[in-house]
Amino acid sequence: MIDAHNHLLDFSKILSPDSAQQTILQRARQNGIHTLLCNASCENDWIPILQLAANSNDSPCQVQIPTVIPLLGIHPWYLDKAHPGWEERLYTLLTQHSKALIGETGLDRTTHRAINNSVQENAFLTHLRLGTELHRPVTIHSVRAWESVLSLLKEQSSLPPALLFHAYNGGREYLKPLLRLSTDIYFSFAGTALFERNHRAHEALSLIPIERLLLETDSPYLAGPSEYLTGLIPQSSDKPHSEPSDLRLLLKGFAQLLHTSAEELENRIENNLSRFLSSLTAL
């Protein structure tokens, strides 16, 4: 199984540090997760994520952990803390690490993290340009910003080789226009799509071509209903946390929703992720 989007570094904020990531990773491997796409939120994450990815490919005699695929970028929530020159530093790191992807970037129009719209749009465009120039897939965050995300993507004369819309919440209305973009498009869903009341996600799921679908935990965030949480990390009652191991349960929930078997869905997702990453192997 593959977790198409998470924030492994943030487990150190929840669990006692040092061993936190390692424990989560080992448990994920024991639960059949062989690959994780680990996203950066801010510049401070870039080097630790690259190290995590390098360690995951190390000696096979170590305790088994999943392969960590690194994504570098600045999440729209943290653009106010970005230091001048981040664009050049991101470019340099990406050129030094040919297997690194770009993420997470995008637009967020919710008010609890009010970052100026033009700051968000400029940063989003920078990430897109880097993805196009360096031929790297890009993971996109969009909340209440689909009109702007779509029009910015349509304005580009060329796009990165693949785009992943993480925790897709655009509903049915944006599916067709997004699928018409001139690049390889994927929609990823997290546990929150399994809440019974999330009709918007269920409708989108029923309409997305299965070859465009990915699953994610967005862990430690976006925890789904309690029956889809392995519950192995400490849970606070107001805001439960997810972890990559939950994917084993999520897969069953999504298979049920899509009227297919967990095995069939797992195979589809493995193929989809290989296609999403195929531009990297072509480098």
Which residues of the shown chain bind Zn ion in the complex (CB under 5 A)?
104
Which is nearer to Zn ion, 73 or 161 (by Cβ)?
73
What is the SS3 string spanning 127-196? HHHHHHHHCCCEEEEEECCHHHHHHHHHHCCCCCCEEEECCCCCCHHHHHHHHCCCCEEEEEECHHHHCC
Burial class (CB in 10 A: 0-12, 13-18, 19+), 96: exposed
Q: Taking Cα atoms as reference points, which of 81, 83, 80, 126 lies closest to residue 105?
A: 126
CB of 190 to Zn ion, least distance (A): 9
CB nearer to Zn ion: give 143 or 255.
Answer: 143
Report how far residue 151's alpha carbon sits from residue 159's, in angstroms, rounded to the nearest whole number: 13
Backbone angles phi, psi at 233, to 5 degrees: -100, 155
φ, ψ at 55 (rounded to 5°): -65, -35
Tell the smallest beta-carbon distance from residue 188 to Zn ion (Å): 10
In the complex, minimum distance from the CB of residue 263 to Zn ion, in angstroms, rounded to a whole number = 27
Nearest to Zn ion of 41, 132 (CB atom)? 41
In the bound complex, what is the minimum distance in angstroms from residue 221's beta carbon to Zn ion? Answer: 7
Q: Tell me whether residue 29 or residue 75 sits nearer to Zn ion (CB atom).
A: 75
Comparing CB distances to Zn ion, the nearer of 3 and 104 is 104
Closer Cβ to Zn ion, 75 or 248, answer by number: 75
The Cβ of residue 231 has, within 10 Å, a number of other Cβ atoms equal to 16
CA atoms within a 13 Å half-sphere pointing along the CA-CB vector of 104: 23
How far from chain centre, in Å, is Cα 247?
Answer: 13
CB of 112 to Zn ion, least distance (A): 16
Question: What are the counts of helices (DSSP H) followed by strands (DSSP E) for the chain?
Answer: 10, 8
Name the minimum Å distance from CB 195 to Zn ion: 18
Cβ–Cβ < 8 Å for 161, 135: yes
> What minimum distance in Å lies between the beta carbon of 250 and Zn ion?
15
Task: For Zn ion, give the closer residue by CB, 109 or 210.
Answer: 109
Q: What is the three-class DSSP state of 70?
A: strand
